[in-house]
Chain A
């Protein structure tokens, strides 16, 4: 067999792409973040369009299973005057909301903390602690009006849906990037939306109060008092409401601005709460 010559030659280094890794990082991150933002924005828009079409009766049927054991209903005035008074007040306020699709209920939570919730389906929960600390009907009216505002905006459904979408999107990315990032980003987006929803609920609540009483005096007095007591006693029971409904002076100012815009009188006679006139109160 004829000899085969050997001529050593080094091949070029073509198995490595010439792309700079930082450029690749920028391109990938940018692309993925853009896609995530678009997806979330698209889903939010879709939600905002869809939610108002969901009937309140459906919402009530679905969520009423989660409600605490009901105390509501006419005829329980003897058992719990506070609950009955508050519920009657809520219904009076709701009468100024002509499109109200809900059958509203109110229940009292035996808790000394000051708090109120709007539960999906048409249930408003208030704590005993809150009822103890209001000094006028107007104050309670604003709190209830604010919760009705959440129902008006279908806020609970929106928050649920948004939480789902954002959570899912970020979960898909979670396999790759830093572990704490998705949870954190979800929290931050939630906070942003929550603030806007709270402001809307405030505006709605204030409008209901004005419609009922003809003026908005006393609406914000309750919060001012709570803010003062919090400054004095940061861990006291009055702070529960504030921690879930962040109250900056900005919020009070926004309410006052709204009143001025609408030309609502800011002073007027405050209505005392009916049960206070009854003797059986501890």
Chain B
């Protein structure tokens, strides 16, 4: 599965397109990460726990999107965009969407 955030895949031609595919997850942090973040808020620096959490969540969202594309017979997803939003206190939604196409 080719993933790209450009309009087309460089070096390949799009033959057919199938529609928009999306992938999303909603992840919450657990109380341990919360405490560490609270401490970090005092001293500053990277919140490694959260970085990892969001990276995992983004990967999962992209995987779900690729699964959808796979299921409808596409071999590439182009023009991928991400969106992160907070949907509840302590939980964030990671969302990826793009257009599923067949390239050759």
Contacts and interface: CB of A to CB of B under 8 A. Distances in A.
Question: Is any CB of A less than 8 Å from a CB of B in the complex?
Answer: yes
Interface of A: 2, 4-12, 14-15, 172
Nearest to B14: A4
Given A4-B14, A5-B17, 13 more contacts: A6-B16, A6-B18, A9-B18, A9-B100, A11-B19, A11-B22, A12-B67, A12-B68, A12-B72, A14-B67, A14-B71, A15-B22, A172-B31
A154 to B, nearest CB: 32
A4 B17 contact: yes
A14 B18 CA distance: 17
Interface of B: 13-19, 21-24, 31, 64, 67-69, 71-73, 100
B24 A8 contact: no
A11 B68 CA distance: 5
28 contacts: A4-B14, A4-B16, A5-B16, A5-B17, A6-B17, A6-B18, A8-B18, A8-B19, A9-B18, A9-B19, A9-B72, A9-B73, A9-B100, A10-B72, A11-B19, A11-B21, A11-B22, A11-B69, A11-B72, A12-B68, A12-B71, A12-B72, A14-B23, A14-B68, A14-B71, A15-B22, A15-B23, A172-B31
A212 to B, nearest CB: 54
Contacts of B24: 15
A10 B21 CA distance: 9
B60 to A, nearest CB: 10
Contacts of B67: 12, 14
A49 B15 CA distance: 75
A4 B76 CA distance: 14
B31 to A, nearest CB: 7
A172 B16 CA distance: 54
B71 to A, nearest CB: 5
Contacts of B64: 14-15
A14 B15 CA distance: 26
A14 B62 CA distance: 12
A132 B15 CA distance: 102
List 7 tightest A-B contacts by C-beta distance, closest first: A11-B68, A9-B72, A9-B18, A5-B16, A12-B71, A11-B21, A15-B24
Contacts of B16: 4-7
Contacts of B14: 4
